[in-house]
Structure 1
Amino acid sequence: MRRAVLFCVALAAFVLACGCGSVTAETPATPPVVRVWPPFDSVQARTDRGLVVTAQGGTLSQVLVTQGGEPVPGRLDPSRTTWRTDWTLKPASEYTVTATAVREGVPAAVTMGRVRTRPLPRTFRVAATTPLPGETVGIGMPIILDFDRAVPDRAAVERALEVTAARPVEGAWRWVGDTRVVYRPRAYWAPRQTVTVTAHLAGLRAGGLYGGADTTFSFTVGRHQISTVDTKTHQMVVTRDGEPVQRMPISAGMATTREYTTTSGVHLTMEKGNPVRMISPGREEGEPGYYDLMIDHAVRISDSGEYVHAKDNVWAQGRENVSHGCVNAGPGRAAWFYENSLRGDPVVITGTDRPLAWDNGWGFWQLSWEKWRQGSALVRVPER
């Protein structure tokens, strides 16, 4: 009996051991999981945080997000587990998302869905741009964005501004008021290239306001043209692509008062008219120094009334400064300058004791690069 019991115990142990081994199996591998934020089927999604796609238990092999039939730019992180939109989302807009996550040895996970963003109250947007879309400009041209209301969070807006050039440059934005920001490259633009400006404002949260719409436009930098004016020798030389193309005797401000002194510094051509009505500032008809004239072929170079324009006082041109502050040349040469000027062409004037203020017209090149960058909401450069 004892032997039989021992045998039965041993046999039971053997069977139990064999039974355990025979049912052991690996847990089936699960596919990766894709998550989207804001969640699919949202109808009041926030705009200011963008759209995020993540993969758990795998990596993202493809993410396609569209809005209005157009692809939405975004990028993967180095681990390829998180994809984010580059910019904020447009308000009251529907986004379609298709994302694929993979892991070796298991089926891919494909997720598809839609997200709709909320409409926004209190919005702001770009009201005007300089240059105009499609305009061909000179190498000194600034980029000026004017907003339709004061911007409470300048840093947030500045981060959303993008400038791309065929030949990349270093540049910076500078705020010149609550509603205006100006971009200037560190050095003049390289000629003959296209520059694209995009304000990614749609859905952007900037203090108590939200961006209402994106704005994008392109312009072309034309030939390399710089004009130099020497008020002491009474000469102006126009150089194009490194070669002089026009020399002209001129007459500058008579300098009997500060008002009648031409400003020295780097001016930019701003606008032109043929003719332009010029009226003496701060004077009434009949007072000394009053004038009201129609001037031909006038190219504005500052906001303080300075132009390069035509004048028939050829007796003074090349010999004497007799103007009220403008640079005048003979009718034929002034007409040539008028026809051959683009907005943003530098006009460098020397020889007077009145410097051009950096905020007089487009006198932005009067500031050193370090000084210019101090006007950015993102870069603070200590005073020297």
Structure 2
Amino acid sequence: MELQPPFRKIIHVDMDAFYASVEQLDNPDLRGKPVAVGGSEIRGVVSAASYEARKFGVRSAMSGVLAKKKCPHIIFVKPRFSRYKEISSKIREIFYDYTDLVEPLSLDEAYLDVTENKKGNPSASLIAQEIRDRIWQELELRASAGISINKFLAKVASDINKPNGQKTINPNEVIPFLEQLPVGKFYGVGKVTAAKMHNNGIFTGLDLKNRSLDDLVLLFGKSGKHYYNIVRGIHKSEVKPDLVRKSIAAERTFNENLSSEVFMLKKLEYIAEELERRMVRSKTKGKTVTLKIKYSDFTQQTRSKTVDDFLQKKEEFYPLIKELLLQERLKNSVRLLGISLSNLDTEKREPVWIQLKFEF
């Protein structure tokens, strides 16, 4: 059975070693070194490991004691989930520039449906590349991506060229790709299920495809039908976005630290223009204006003001930003400035779930 159009264009974006990469971003002394977020050499469990640590076999969910044994010079850092959430929201803002059909899976990965997108770009592969480029340029973090006709395939594809790579599985490549794929590489097939498949002579997608539906249901229960479908490229789960956003922001990290408020105001004008474009594009207004300041020593400060009227245009909120910047003396030179609008007019709306139909 051949897959029949029309096909969806789904991207799965997965940040590379996200927590550890954020720690290395914020602390240059950690860059290029094996880092474990969470755990310690005495107790606890590793939440995430940098690629430098992974070379020694350190993985998430591993005990800190074992991680230390595998990599004696590993550096343990405490997790900062508020910081990871902050960065994650910025990554999602980039996603929303391309489509409102964004389904976050966690802080570091999400599905995007770009079948119809805000850029009018027919190539999902080029959109994925552009998104990854922007994440690097704007946030100095690396991401990988998978692109295909459904969520299952996009998820599998995103693992193939990690880190900092992407893989596209075109419609005519789906069946050959799945037939040669080891069953242990199928998303959702864990070690126990893979071992059971191996014990029953199922090692590749082709082996799985050669089994009847009744046979697979007998072996794996309700999951048998799922395996029967996915190996044929059939996965009808829609991208389910929650369209209600809490804030919209824009920010810039500077190549050289700024010490002059005059220069900062000039930079803030450009940032305000970008924020206005995002507000207009999303047809959103907000009442709370927040100025974010990150100093050269990596400490961070926010200053906010809430007004009675909803704001959207630069001319409406930039005077407030100027007021916030000048309200007290800066304690150090500045490496990053950001502006956000929250308390949005969308917050009173109920979340909207868009259902997409897949046809094969």
TM-score interval w.r.t. the shorter chain? under 0.3
* Greater RCO, 1 or 2 (C-alpha within 8 Å, sep 6+): 2
- Give the structure with the larger helix fraction: 2
Q: Which has the higher strand share?
A: 1
TM-score (normalised: structure 2): 0.28
Name the TM-score, length of structure 1 as normaliser. Answer: 0.26
